Each structure stands twice: as structure tokens, then as C-alpha cells.
Amino acid sequence: MIPYKLLFVDPDNNALDAYRRLIKAMRPAWSSSFAATGRDAMSVMRKLKPDVLVTELNMTVENGVDLLKTVQKFYPDVIRIVLSSEPDAQAETILNATQSAHRFLVKPCKGESLIAHVEQAAELRKIIFSEELRKIIGGIPYLPSLPQLYHELLKAMESPLISVAEIGDIIARDMSMTTRVLHLVNSAFFGLPRQVSNPHEAAVMLGLNVLKSLILYVKLFFAAPDSKIPGFSLDDMWAHSSLTARLSRDIAKGLGGNSHIQEDAFLAGMLHDVGKLLLLEHPKYLKSVMLRQANDDDLSFVDAEYKEFSASHAEIGGYLLGLWGLPDLVVEAVACHHRPSQISGEASPVLAATHLANVMLCRQAGDEIDYDENLLNQGEIKMMLPDWNLLATRLYEERNTN
Ligand SMILES: [Fe+2]
Ligand SMILES: [Fe+2]
């Protein structure tokens, strides 16, 4: 087990003592530091560079949100967990923290649960070894939305008769908005017994007032600027993602998955390329990948990414979704959608469906990427491939004729 370095920030000394006792009893190999103010926290941050920050939001001297934002700016690869005495998910401080906190926990929090959250988030680092890449991912406060959906959402917000279900419909069509509402709803504030994969359900749970605050005041969503990357179209990427979502759900059904598995497969298909959205903000990364590809005609974009960074947009997206607490099967499917054999043992139906749907739809668009051979030999997959390919052709043609 890796001995992580933790920093706990809380103005209440009793809370800090409780954390001290917890770590000593449950994870004695970890090193923990403690601070009662944001200023003390930053001084520890400079000296010790912890892996994980666990902070209260309601501070007497400074605002916990400011601390989170400062850490995000200067130490973006630190995992940021809020452990708050504010029980209300609609509180302004909570909503303001959504851009910079990875996880939200509520006091009183069981010791085992806190340890599990720290470990689960910190272990995601195994997906991305490069500190530089982790810094890129940890530093982003926003994910860009498709401009037309963003404007549709703003317009809908102006209508006094708008329902939460209608807002949910728009959110569900956009991969960034979907990710953000699921991030919030899967936080401990909602105390749900299971992880939520459905953006409609998430929008209803948040309610119209919270959605309005997030959209109009916190400005959690924003429209992607025009892409300056030659050969890259946001519209194509969104269309590819929504087709992959539909096909992935049908494949998961064909693999015998129940309704939850089908929902996870739909979400994983929708979000499988979310890592590319992050890369749009980092042209340096994209340029080096494209240069590598230009020097070797046989190299696909994703293989060039692996050669250049030992990771691809798949792991980048999986890492981000994992930090934000999205359902585990979805995180795994997104992280491994190009290389499902990365995981030991059989691929889950969610991962299998996402991989197959992506390959089929990439091939429809003329991008000859390969199937994972091990996956093809799993269960009845090879036998069912022709039917799913027919479905992929139908979906692709349907989209092109609309
Ligand atoms: Fe991909
Ligand atoms: Fe894709």
C-alpha cells in the first residue's frame, strides 16, 4: 500500500485531533499534516507537497473555496476533497466549490468512508503516471460545452415556464454538462445508496434552483471556443459520442446487461472521448502528438499519444471522471476504451460495449482503428459482431441523412 501524504485543514481543533487519531489507527504509514487556517495550509503545501488535501469549507478566517482555488492553481495535481459541516448541497459555498473540489463529503463522516475516498481517488494516479499530465487534468475548472447546446440552455433558462425535465434533456445531450451534474449528484451530499449514471435523474435531483445557480451565477458551463485545430470538428465529436452512447447501450443489452449496466454503457459511450475536450485546451499536447503521427504514417492518433506520453485521451478522461466520483464501471470503460486488455480478467459488459461501439463507429467514419483481439474472443462477442456492425451502419447513416 502506498503511504500517501495528506493535509487536513479545519478551524476546529477537535476535528483535527479526530483526523490525527483516525490516520494513526487506520493508516499509520501515511504522513499527515494539519492546519487550522488557509494561510497555514499553503505553507504546509509549499514544504510538504501532499498528495491529498481534505478541507472544511466553513472557515472563520478565510474562505475554504479560496483555498481550494489557490491549491488548484499552484498545485493542480493535489487531490482536493471537501469535508464540510455544511449539510445543504444548495448552499452557496458548496456550489462555488464545484469548480475546484474533486470530492464532497459531509460531516459527520465515518472514518472508513473518508479513508476509502482518499484511497480510491489517490489510486487513480496509477492510470496516469506523468505528473505533467496530472497537473493539466487537475488544473481545469471547466469542460467546454457544444456552443449550440450551451446557448439553447441559456435561452431555456429565460423562460418562466421551463421545467427541470426540459433542462435535463439539454444537459443529457452535452458531455461536459452531463459530467458536471453527475459529479455533484454523486457527491456525499445526496447520500445515495448507488452511483447515478443518468443525467436526467441527476438534473431532477439537483432541482431547478440549483441548476439555475450553477448555470447563471457559478457559471459552471461554458461554450467551447472555435477549434483552431485543423481537421478537428466539435460537431463531429459530439455526433460521434452520442452515436457511440446509443450503440454501446444496445451492445450492453445484447451482452445480457441489466438496465443499470445499459445505462452505464450509454454514459460511457457518451463520455468515452471526454479526455479530448481537455486536450483542446492544451494545443502543446496535441501538436506533439500530431508531429509524432506526421513522422510515421502508420501511426493512429491514439498510438501516437501512447508513444509520446505513455497515456492517451482515454486514460486522461478516465482519470478526470474518477476524481469526480463518476460510477466505477464508467470510469474504467472510458479509461480503457482503446485498450480493454489493460485490465486483468474479463472486460465488463460496459467496457466491452464502449470499446466495440467506438471501433465500429470510427470505422464507419473511415478511421480504421483495431479491435482488441482478447476482447473479441470473450464469450459470444465474435458471433454477435456482424449484427452490431449492421446496427452501427444504420445509426451512422441515419445521422448523416438527418
Ligand atoms: Fe477515443
Ligand atoms: Fe471515440
Cα(339)–Cα(374) distance, integer angstroms? 10
Ligand nearest to the CA of 362: 2
Q: How far is the CA of 211 from the centre of ligand 1 (A)?
A: 30
Establish if 102 belongs to a structural domain. yes
**Ligand that lies nearest to the alpha carbon of residue 367, given by its number in the listed order:** 2
Residue 87 has a pLDDT of 67
- Last residue of one domain, picked from the residues 163, 191, 223: 223
Task: Write out pLDDT tens, residues 309-365.
Answer: 889 999 999 999 999 989 999 999 999 999 999 888 899 999 999 999 999 999 999
Reading the block at residue 277, the C-alpha cell is 475536450
Based on the fold, state whether residues 219 and 171 are members of the same structural domain.
yes
Q: Ligand 1 centroid vs 22 CA: distance in angstroms?
A: 41
**Residue 241: which CATH number?**
1.10.3210.10
Ligand of minimum distance to the alpha carbon of 245: 2
DSSP 82: E
- Domain end call among 223, 251, 277: 223
CA of 164 to the centre of ligand 1 (A): 31
pTM for the structure as a whole:
0.90
Percentage of residues in the chain having pLDDT higher than 90:
62
Pick the closest to residue 13 from 40, 34, 31, 28 (CA basis): 34
Each residue of 269-308: pLDDT tens digit?
Answer: 999 999 998 887 777 888 888 888 888 878 888 999 999 8
- Burial of 297 from C-beta contacts in 10 A (0-12 / 13-18 / 19+): exposed
Question: 42: CA distance to ligand 1 center in Å?
Answer: 37
Q: Separation of 276 CA from ligand 2 center, angstroms?
A: 9
Whether the CB-CB separation of 57 and 94 falls below 8 Å is answered with yes
Are residues 298 and 385 part of one domain?
A: yes
Residues facing residue 8 across a β-bridge? 34, 54
Do 313 and 338 belong together in one domain?
yes
The CATH number that applies at residue 9 is 3.40.50.2300
Domain interval for residue 200: 147-223
- CA-based nearest residue to 108, from 22, 28, 174: 22
Strand, helix or coil for residue 87:
coil
Q: Is residue 137 part of a domain?
A: no
User: In terms of domains, do 238 and 344 share one?
Assistant: yes
Residues 32 and 77 in one domain: yes
Residue 401 has pLDDT above 90, yes or no: no
Cell numbers for 10, please give them.
479545519
At which residue does the C-alpha cell 459555498 appear? 93
In a domain, 138, yes or no: no
Strand ranges in 228-365 using DSSP code E only, listed in sequence order: none
Cα 185 to middle of ligand 1, angstroms: 26
In this structure, is residue 203 part of a structural domain?
yes
What does the pLDDT average to over 370-389?
A: 95
How far is ligand 2, taken at its centre, from the CA of residue 109, in Å? Answer: 38
Rounded to whole angstroms, the Cα distance separating 165 from 146 reads 20
Distance 242 CA to ligand 2 centre (A): 10
Does residue 266 sit within a domain? yes
- Which strands, in side-by-side order, build the sheet including 52-55? 31-35, 5-9, 52-55, 79-84, 103-106
Instruction: List pLDDT tens digits, range 100-158.
Output: 999 999 888 899 999 999 998 998 888 887 888 888 888 877 788 999 999 999 999 98
In a shared domain, residues 172 and 240? no
CA of 301 to the centre of ligand 1 (A): 9
In a domain, 139, yes or no: no
Half-sphere exposure of 277 (CA within 13 A, CB side): 28
Q: Specify whether 284 is located in the same domain as 369.
A: yes
Same domain, 241 and 307: yes
How far away, in angstroms, is 338 Cα from ligand 1 center? 6
pLDDT at 280: 79
In this structure, the answer to whether residues 23 and 117 fall within a common structural domain is: yes
pLDDT in tens, 239-261: 999 999 999 999 999 999 999 99
Poorest-confidence range of 199-203, 220-224, 357-361? 220-224
Looking at the structure, tell me whether residues 179 and 38 fall in a common domain.
Answer: no
Domain count, the chain: 3
CA of 262 to the centre of ligand 2 (A): 18
Q: pLDDT at residue 203 above 80?
A: yes
Picking from 171, 200, 223, the residue at the C-terminal end of a domain is 223
Same domain as 201, residue 113: no
Q: How far is the CA of 233 from the centre of ligand 2 (A)?
A: 13
> Residue 334: nearest ligand to its CA?
1
* Alpha helix ranges (H) inside 33-146: 38-48, 64-74, 92-97, 111-123, 131-138
pLDDT band of residue 393 (cuts 50, 70, 90) is very high
Residue 383: which pLDDT band, with cuts at 50, 70 and 90? Answer: very high
Domain assignment present for 141: no
Evaluate whether residue 133 is within a structural domain.
Answer: no
Query: Residue 151 C-alpha to ligand 1 middle, in angstroms?
Result: 27
